[in-house]
Amino acid sequence: MTAPRPTPAGPDTAGSRPWVEDLRRDGARGQAAVADLHALLLKAARFEIGRRAAELSHLRGGDHEDLAQQAANDALMAVLRKLDQFRGESRFITWAYKFALLEAAVKVRRRAWQGREVPLEDEAWNALADAGAPAGRGAEDAELFAALREEIERLGPRQREVLVAVALNGVPIDVLAERLGSTRGALYKNLHDARRNLRAALAARGFRVGTDGEEEA
């Protein structure tokens, strides 16, 4: 009978050691550790998918469970692959849970966009213009809006494509990465560079622009 491993409740960084040691073992003890970890990751994935259920209103309950299983499976593989990167700065389960939450969130976004066309062109410009123009937008704002559109057109093709899809059309970064055959990291760099170039171009034209905090979720 194996010694009990820690549960997610309460700070217990030292208690992470049994998890790491058991997951590295061969034989029955290692297999039991993997099974226990998968059960915990599945619980985390179910929680995250339930929290995002509104994005999946077109799916049946069984589809939610299928997504949770996929997320837990992928999270388990990621944890085992990156086990050497665990430094004990947080509890092992807290560290591992993040993989399940991320995988579940990505799968929900991808499933929500399944079968939908990803808008890569500037379809959102007309909507933005229609929303702002008749509502008493000042001349300065209108000038900034026009300059912004001009400078976006001057961006490189990939920077413009990513910026328009993510910032204007609301396409999730992981969905866009899948459709373009790229990675989240590469697209985040495109997005960061596009925003930096836009700020510099607008500042050179005399517009006051602030720095925006870019979150990479």
Asked whether residue 165 is assigned to any structural domain, the reply reads: yes
3-43, pLDDT tens digit by residue?
Answer: 444 444 444 455 678 888 999 998 999 999 999 999 999 99
**Can you spell out the DSSP letters for the chain?**
-PPPPPPSSS--GGGHHHHHHHHT--HHHHHHHHHHHHHHHHHHHHHHHHHTGGGGTTS-HHHHHHHHHHHHHHHHHHHHHTGGG--SSS-HHHHHHHHHHHHHHHHHHHHHHTTS----SSHHHHHHHHHHGGGT--HHHHHHHHHHHHHHHHS-HHHHHHHIIIIIT---HHHHHHHHT--HHHHHHHHHHHHHHHHHHHHHTT---PPPP----
- What does pTM read for this prediction? 0.59
Query: For residue 155, is it within any domain?
Result: yes
Q: Are residues 20 and 107 in the same domain?
A: yes
Pair 159, 108 in one domain: no
Q: Are residues 143 and 183 in the same domain?
A: yes
Shared domain for 96 and 176, answered yes or no, is no
Which range of residues forms the domain containing residue 103?
A: 13-113
Q: Taking residues 39-66, what's their average pLDDT?
A: 81
Q: Last residue of some domain: 113, 146, 171?
A: 113
Residue 100 sits in the same domain as residue 22: yes
Pair (65, 130) in one structural domain: no
